[in-house]
Structure 1
Amino acid sequence: MSSVIPDTVPTGSAPSRHPLPAGAAPAAVSLRDAVASLEGRPVLRGIDLVVRPGEVVALLGANGSGKSTTVKTVIGSVPLERGGLELFGTPYARFKEWHRIGYVPQRTTAAGGVPATVREVVSTGRLPQHRLLPFRRKDREAVDRALDAVGMLDRAEDGVANLSGGQHQRVLIARALVGTPDLLIMDEPMAGVDMASQQILADTLRREVERGAAVLLVLHELGPLEPLIDRAVVLRDGCVSHDGPPPKEVGQHALPGHDHVHPHSDDDHPNNTPRLLA
């Protein structure tokens, strides 16, 4: 992937509630003129996307508009055919600090069918910092803090196979949080989870933003997260149709091109394995 031009706000975008002074840290994500395809089918047709530290950006759009492909491009599991990507000011090809990014994938179980406890699954979120080194006391403490943040510390030794859908999602969020990421990416984090889990997610994201993390969310509806959203980037047919305040009526029915079908995946590729979890 090629480098991108210096950080500027895409045309038509709205200022963040967290404006950065001159000389401040670079954007967590700077995606420029991004073009990408899945199995030969064009999905992204020139996406511009900027996410700054301390900012919460929601990706919205009808089914098949390119939301999931956009985040998979950011984490490297879908390559760009054209355009550029920088993460924390570093061109993607030279970026090595993957521990700075926490990723919650779409529609999956916490252990992917492998028998494991809640603690074991969340502990894998520390691997980018260790590789083959043994875990230390501070790693165990980090796991406990992440589980406590999502209300799952009391289930730490339980098997993930015994959890509800909302509890699975909380475990995946804890796994993303355990490395104290500077950028948190979540693909449909509220799909199929109960209201209690949605509120826990909202409270967790609020704390992450308060410490300065950037957040990029693919959402079907804003729900309890609406007060946290700084900008909404609405995609249509692989292009940005809106970048600014969230539309007054948000949800798939309110977005252009909605087909009144609510699958959990709009553009998943069966062979995509996020680099962060490799």
Structure 2
Amino acid sequence: MQTLSGQAADQPVISLRGATASLGSRPVLRGIDLAVRPGEVVALLGANGSGKSTAVRAIVGQVPLTDGSLSLFGTDFKRFRDWSRIGYVPQRTTAAGGVPATVREVVSSGRLSRTRFGLLRKADKAAVEGALALVDMDGYADVSVNALSGGQHQRVLIARALAGEPELLLMDEPMAGVDLANQEVLANALREQVAVGSTVLLVLHELGPLEPLIDRAVVLRDGCVVHDGPPPEAVGQHALPGHDHVHPHAAHDAEPLRTGLLS
């Protein structure tokens, strides 16, 4: 059986085997195995510092593997060139990095990999407008991104990834710091992507409104996979498989949520 892209349906879209990676001299991934198959929605869970974001950044080539293997759509990473098939939403940041730009301009940049000489054709413009509508930002298309709230910035970043009509969508903590109303909008947008057959890998602290969409949860602890299967019923640091409950539970000792590179 083949997918629409011609890929075998049982061939993983992402395959990490024995993957290790370090940041500086500190090992972060310690031989993880991860396979994500076509149409799956997989959540990467774990405490801060467990290696979730590093795993995603390794998949998009931002962090090199020191050992192990990575393939995308059945192609070894070193030979993979078809990046237009992948949409990536990094950890929350300002949508334009401080550069003056409208919402439409930022979202249009997600379409560039499918254009010739950076010129948007009718189909490209339609994809941009569709992505804006999907995250309920079409009414803000001509607004400067510097005037947006944090949740709206996140919606723009997701629209930018969706504008490329990716077969694989990678999202690094898309719900971090986003209020419930914006979480619901993002969940609806993701539901639409799943409905058209996209494969999704998300880094999450908690499943929240995305829980009904998640097929599988992979839990990391200290750079190792400690669970790969159905999502835990109650998601939070204390509910994750492998949590040893040896740390103090007083409020002043609780580890704050943060959105650094090593969440």
* Fold shared by both chains (TM-score > 0.5): yes
| Percent of aligned positions that are identical | 66
Query: What is the aligned residue count?
Result: 247
Q: Distance in 2 between matches of 1:97 and 1:31?
A: 18
- Aligned pairs for 1:60-209 within 5 A: 60-130=45-115, 132-209=117-194
1:64/1:237 contact within 8 Å kept: yes
Say whether 1:26 aligns with 2:26: no
The Cα offsets for residues 54-77 of structure 1, whole Å up to 9 and x where unpaired, read as 110000001100000000010010
The Cα offsets for residues 175-225 of structure 1, whole Å up to 9 and x where unpaired, read as 000011000000000011111111111111111111111000000110000
Letter in 2 for 1:267: L
Q: Which residue of 1 aligns with 2:257?
A: 262
Instruction: Give the 3 Å change call, closer, same or farther, for CA 193–56 of structure 1 in structure 2.
Output: same
Q: Distance in 2 between matches of 1:248 and 1:223?
A: 11
Letter in 2 for 1:48: D
Structure 1 residue 264, shift from structure 2 partner: 1.4
Q: Which residue of 1 aligns with 2:5?
A: none
Q: Distance in 1 between matches of 2:152 and 2:189?
A: 14
2:9/2:38 contact within 8 Å kept: no
Structure 1 residue 107, shift from structure 2 partner: 2.2
Partner secondary structure for residue 254 of structure 1: coil
TM-score, with structure 1 as normaliser: 0.85
Letter in 1 for 2:121: R
Runs of 4+ in 1 over 6 A off after TM superposition: none
Structure 2 residues not aligned, in runs of 5+: 1-7, 248-253
Q: Distance in 2 between matches of 1:248 and 1:132?
A: 48
Structure 1 residue 133, shift from structure 2 partner: 3.5
Q: Which residue of 2 aligns with 1:275?
A: none
Q: Which residue of 1 aligns with 2:195?
A: 210
Structure 1 residue 53, shift from structure 2 partner: 1.2
Q: Which residue of 1 aligns with 2:251?
A: none
TM-score, with structure 2 as normaliser: 0.90
Q: Which residue of 1 aligns with 2:22?
A: 37
Letter in 1 for 2:262: D
